[in-house]
Amino acid sequence: MKHSKHLNFFLIFLLLSSLFLWEYSNFKIKKLQITNIVSENKTDYSILLKPNSFFTEKELPSNNNYVSNAIDKININFNYQIKNQSLQNLKYYYEISTTLTGYTTEKAQEIWNKKTILEKNYQFSNKDFFLNQNISLDYQFYQKLKEDFENTYLIQLDTNLKVNLRIYTSEKEIDNNIELNIPINDTTTAITINENNKKQKTPIPKIYNIYQITSIISLLISLALIFLKFTQKFSKNEKWFLNKYHNLIIKVTKEPNIPFTNKIYISNAKDFGQIANNYNTFIILYKNTYYIFTTQYTYILDN
């Protein structure tokens, strides 16, 4: 029947829509979830010495103690890579900065700091991140800055220089820091490298949760309609029709051959039964569809 066909199309549409919404939201959520991020830090440095009569080398490798007054420059190579195993592209940013901090010699309380941004940049949106950046620091500049502060305020300080590389993403899914700690004093200097990685769970936009809820509701509605369709076999109109015209109804198991005649759909069961009476003919029932065959027309109960 026409209404039944419309209902079938609606059920198919509802089922396909709910499945599409579910799959689409699942795909988006999986794409946003950062499940495995691997970072590789190959940051290194070397010490460039001032001209002197004691060291034959002009440049010393990392992981040593150095005579502070012999240091001219500190050459740092930030070599850092992030491999992102998720499906999502990320917007990576990085910043290289120095912070000179002065502490009281007695209680090691911070009383002064000076931060300088050496470089701030944005790398295009990508799954992975790679940086190979060289920075040269004038050690004597920071040592002189410390001495000027002490001479100006007549205070003795323990001073530390931090050189920080920060790699982060727009939504803070990644916030990694590589930090070089360089003591600024009058005797010897030992440099340490620390890495601090903060990986946060990517926030999932609420719209995808709404999609999932909508898909579940649509699926439940479609299942409920299917259940009603197959359990409520006859409408009230059909029940009245069966009681009134049961003596004219012939149920067949094989689909009848519909003659090449004009088809007329009747929406009212009472009118349909009256047509059978008028033609003094039987009503054929095949799979919940009622037919009346005449020489000119085929009447179909559209209920």
Return the structure tokens found at 298. Answer: 């085929």
What was the pLDDT predicted at 138? Answer: 94
Same domain, 51 and 28: no
CB atoms closer than 10 angstroms to residue 215: 20
The reported pLDDT for the residue numbered 107 is: 66
Residues 87 and 105 in one domain: yes
Same domain membership, residue 254 and residue 158:
no
Q: What is the mean pLDDT of residues 209-224?
A: 68
Q: Are residues 245 and 127 in the same domain?
A: no
Supply the pLDDT for residue 2. 46
Q: Are residues 105 and 158 in the same domain?
A: yes
Q: Which residues of 243-278 are buried (b: 16+ CB within 10 A; e: fewer)?
A: eebeeeeeeeeeeeeeeeeeeeebeebeebbebbee
Instruction: Give pLDDT, residue 49.
Output: 95
Q: How far apart are CA 28 and CA 212, in angstroms?
A: 11
Quote the domain boundaries for residue 29: 1-33+204-232
Same domain flag for 57 and 24? no
Claim to verify: residue 122 and residue 149 sit in the same structural domain = yes
Q: Are residues 132 and 182 in the same domain?
A: yes
**265-291 tens-digit pLDDT:** 888 888 888 888 888 899 888 887 889
Residue pLDDT, tens place only, 60-74: 999 999 999 899 999
Tell me: do 243 and 181 sit in the same domain. no
Instruction: Count the domains in the chain.
Output: 3
Q: pTM for this one?
A: 0.56
Q: What percent of the chain has pLDDT over 70?
A: 72
Give the pLDDT score at 266: 87
In tens, the pLDDT along 137-184 reads 999 899 899 999 999 999 888 899 999 999 888 766 678 889 999 998
Both 90 and 218 in one domain: the answer is no
**Of residues 202 and 98, which shows the higher confidence score?**
98
Q: State the CB neighbour count (10 A cutoff) for residue 218.
A: 20
Looking at every residue in the chain, the average pLDDT score rounds to 80
- Based on the fold, state whether residues 275 and 259 are members of the same structural domain: yes
